[in-house]
Amino acid sequence: MAKTENPTATRERALQAQIERIETESGAKAIGVALHDAETDFELHYKADRWFHAASTIKVPILLGVFAAIDRGDLLPHSRVHVRNRFLSVVEGVPFRVESGRDSNSAVHNAIGKMMRVDELAYHMITTSSNLATNLLLSVVGTDAINKTLKELDVDDGIDLKRGVEDELAFEKGINNMVTADGLLRILVLLSEGKAFSPALSRRMMDILHGQEFNQGIPARLPKAARVAHKTGEISTVAHDAGVVYLPKRKPYGLVVLSEWDPAGSGRSRTIATISHTIYEFLTQEPVDE
């Protein structure tokens, strides 16, 4: 008697094939995808343990580290932080600044010399990806403390936080923050399940992620009823999006799409949106009996 394959495995293989085709047609050098659907427990791991330059997706682990400090009582959401645009590179402590022109958010730059609240900085770090806000929070909480938090929460696998953002000297020396799709997905699942410190703190982090203003990736081709709590990341050679998708009348799913490109490569957001749409259709369409 012929051996029949588990239907779930068949569906997974079909989805893997679709993503592989999108990857080939996109011209990307590599794509990694991790998916966890809380509704069906379906998971997909497509090159999900491949390491990518994190770009701004590293701000999700940093957000977790900031809230760990709040959970410990080291910080309060309304604790004030001096907004100063001067940071020290991990390479020999050389000072550097965050270029205001490269930061899409002017609110934090406009506060230089003054103070902003921790929760304001966290909001700007995620929703408009403020690099200045990110480095300020990192300077208050510390890289070591954030890495310790990741380890304590058992989400350190697949996250390699080494430094702040726009540390060009470190970039030249190859010292970069790196992530895998699985690594980011583990954090997002923790947040969406309310298991990061407390349901209330998890919800606050998710609320911040829901405020994301860059929506050309995962949300772009989803129905209007979809709400996505997510964080994008893009530099010349990578384009990422990592988030949790909420659809009406079903539990959410976590999705991470990481991609690496030649600097001249185009169609990055479109590729992420296509993968997101493919997964949305896959999860919401009834399996067809063959």
Partner 1 sequence: MSSTAFAGPTGLNESANFPLRVVDGLTLPPEYRKALRPGEEWKDEMGRPRQLPRYFYEIPSWDSAMKIELATHFLLWEFIQVDVREAAPLRTFPRYVPCAITLLAVCLERFREAVGSMVHISANGGYRSPSHRFSKNATLHAWGTAANIYRIGETYLDNRGAIERFSLIARETLPGIWTRPYGAPTGYAEDHLHLDLGYVLSVPRDVKS
By CB under 8 A, tell whether 118 contacts partner 1.
Answer: yes
Contact letters for partner 1, residues 88-117 (x by CB under 8 A)? ------xx-x--------------xxxx--
SS3 232: strand
Can you count the helices (H) and strands (E) in the chain? 10, 12
Q: How far apart are CA 271 and CA 283, in angstroms?
A: 18
**Which pairs with CB-CB distance under 8 Å and at least 24 residues apart come from 84-89?**
84/112, 84/113, 84/136, 85/109, 85/112, 85/132, 87/135, 87/139, 87/164, 87/167, 89/163, 89/167, 89/168, 89/169, 89/170
245 interacts with partner 1 by CB under 8 A: no
Q: Is 79 in the site for partner 1 (CB under 8 A)?
A: yes
Name which position in 29, 82, 102, 173 contacts partner 1 (CB under 8 A): 82
Q: Which is nearer to partner 1, 167 or 260 (CB)?
A: 167
Q: Is 122 in the site for partner 1 (CB under 8 A)?
A: no
Out of 72, 86, 173, 195, name the contact with partner 1 by CB under 8 A: 86
In this complex, which beta carbon is closest to partner 1, that of residue 101 or of residue 113?
113
Is residue 178 exposed (0-12), middle (13-18) or buried (19+ Cβ within 10 Å)?
Answer: middle
Helix 59-72 × helix 199-210 angle, to 10°? 150
Which of 58, 62, 66, 75 lies at the binding interface for partner 1 (CB under 8 A)?
A: 75
Residues 227 and 246 sit within 8 Å (Cβ to Cβ): yes
Least distance from C-beta 81 to partner 1, angstroms? 5
**Does 31 engage in binding with partner 1 (CB under 8 A)?**
no
For residue 272, state whether it binds partner 1 (rule: CB under 8 A): no
Query: Which positions lie near partner 1, rule CB under 8 A?
Result: 75, 79-86, 94-95, 97, 112-115, 118, 140
